[in-house]
Amino acid sequence: MRRMLGAGRYSIVKQAAPIILLAAMAWPQQITKLDRENAETMLQAVASEVRKHYYDPKLHGVDWDAKVTEAKKKIDKAQSLGTALSQIAAVLETLDDSHTFFMPPERYYRYSYPVKYQIIGNRCFITQVRPQSDAEAKGVKPGDEILTINGYQPTRDTLWTIQYIFSVLRPQPSLLLKLQDPGGAQREVDVATNFHQNKLVTNIGAENGYSDWWDMIREGETGEHLKRARSAEFGDKLLVLQMPEFAFTPIEMNEMISKARKHQNLILDLRGNPGGDVEALKYMVGRMFDKEVKIADHIGRKETKAMMSKDSHDPFTGKLIVLVDARSASAAELFARVMQIEKRGIVFGDQTSGAVMEAKRYDEQLGADVMSFYEVSVTDADLIMTDGKSLEHVGVTPDRLLLTSPAALAAGRDPVLAMAAEELGVTLSPEAAGKLFPFEWPPLEMGN
């Protein structure tokens, strides 16, 4: 999900008592009176946070009170909890803002779809299929084009909404995919979702020996491992650095740049990078220059201030190529665009997502001793680049538009990385490039 300057970390930070019970919601088919009351409570809390913190106090001219009242009426008539909570999300959608969204309480089960897919150019393709899954058994393969998902056509404008509905608001027991293979043949495939049941109540207090707490820590460590930076060296000529998020500490980023300085050239792979922490972006931009650089103007509710880079000590001074794709968002987009504007590096790949605002998350809860947590992300600043333009709904246009073909996806090749390496004088075949950083699926019990 998109958060801060991109995707954030869904974390529980409250400790109100020695024993804390975290309740997962059952999300039954038939809504109960308590469910309806909880949905209305969440609606009012979310609406209040937007009124207080949204960067535009006029809310783009949206009649906010009227929209909230309309949503409450729809919640009163909703036949399921999922439908009721969708009304909260729908209110936020009226702002047409990439960083203002609702994260409902966790369900008592987790789901894992057996396919990964993304926009390439203006089409949607399967990029990964989980081994030994129902999708693999039914012949779904990377390189298959998705024409519809449960009847919805995925486009650059609709894909995020489709994923939000089916991954956050209304997870499905299966996905009905209309596919077209690289040869042009079309078919429909209904692929089953894997489900893992959570505990209805997670006790992170001392009475159970903190066992649930340690389970949460182990899961977090697995998540951190999957999001780690990875690199590949080609003598002293080139370092390829894959950076999945802007979520690293200054010490970690200093280690990355120290390694990069040992090479003449750097390829920074930000494909699939959803953004992350503002400070991490400032630091990473700073390590590309020997001077302070303006990233953008931060236009908040009450003031405008410059967003400046940090720490230009011992920067990487070699040649730089930045790789992006349609999943590169927010902080990743800002980094790439700054490199273009300042003529510091060149950008290869696909048009980025155009999800570039700055936001904060607000933790909310239902209950007292036994609590269900939910969140709302609220945009608190627009970001205007030094060329006077916003990247929101626009994205970054690469200096070299390079799209991975269906055949390359099917064969596991990475021609974009190979071309970037060739630009820097390093011979790397598309086949070898595709094997540098193998995709890693999260454990099924972690869900998507």
- Taking only the tens place, the pLDDT of each residue in 118-137 is 999 999 999 999 999 999 99
Q: What is the distance between the alpha carbons of residues 68 and 409, in angstroms, rounded to a whole number?
A: 44
Question: What does the pLDDT read at residue 211?
Answer: 62
pTM of the model: 0.90
Question: What does the pLDDT read at residue 371?
Answer: 74
Residues of the chain with pLDDT > 70: what percent?
87
**Does the pLDDT value for residue 30 go beyond 90?**
no
Q: What are phi and psi of 224, to 5 degrees?
A: -65, -40
**Does the pLDDT value for residue 304 go beyond 90?**
yes
Question: What does the pLDDT read at residue 254?
Answer: 93
Task: List the alpha helices (DSSP H) in 297-370.
Answer: 331-341
Q: Burial letters for 213-222: b for 16+ Cβ neighbours within 10 Å, e otherwise?
A: beeeeeeeee
CB atoms < 10 A from the CB of 401, how many? 12
Question: What does the pLDDT read at residue 170?
Answer: 85
CB atoms < 10 A from the CB of 243, how many? 26
**Does the pLDDT value for residue 188 go beyond 80?**
yes
Q: What is the distance between the alpha carbons of residues 412 and 428, in angstroms, rounded to a whole number?
A: 14
Could you tell me the pLDDT band of residue 202, with boundaries at 50, 70 and 90? low
Question: What does the pLDDT read at residue 172?
Answer: 87
3-class state of residue 216 by DSSP: helix
Could you tell me the pLDDT band of residue 199, with boundaries at 50, 70 and 90? low
**Does the pLDDT value for residue 6 go beyond 70?**
no
Q: What superfamily in CATH does domain 110-195 come from? A: PDZ domain (2.30.42.10)
3-class state of residue 364 by DSSP: strand
Query: Between 369 and 388, where is the model more confident?
Result: 388
Helix-helix angle 331-341:278-286, to 10 degrees:
30
**Does the pLDDT value for residue 203 go beyond 50?**
yes
User: What's the CATH number of domain 224-357+381-439, 3.90.226.10, 3.40.718.10, 3.40.50.20, 3.40.366.10?
Assistant: 3.90.226.10
Question: What does the pLDDT read at residue 196?
Answer: 72
Could you tell me the pLDDT band of residue 93, with boundaries at 50, 70 and 90? very high
- Asked if 156 contacts 119 with a C-beta cutoff of 8 angstroms, the reply is yes
DSSP secondary structure string for all residues of 69-117: HHHHHHHHH-SSHHHHHHHHHHHHHTT--TT-EEEPPPBSEEEE-SEEE
Q: What is the distance between the alpha carbons of residues 325 and 342, in angstroms, rounded to a whole number?
A: 21
Question: What does the pLDDT read at residue 82?
Answer: 86
Question: What does the pLDDT read at residue 111?
Answer: 84
Residue 121 backbone class (left: φ over 0; alpha: ψ -120 to 50; beta: rest): left
Stretch (H or E) spanning 433: helix 430-434
Mean pLDDT of the chain: 89
Give me the torsion for CA of 111, 9, 117, 147, rounded to 10°.
80
Mean pLDDT of 88-100: 96
**Does the pLDDT value for residue 239 go beyond 60?**
yes
Q: Where are the domains of the chain?
A: 21-107+197-222, 110-195, 224-357+381-439
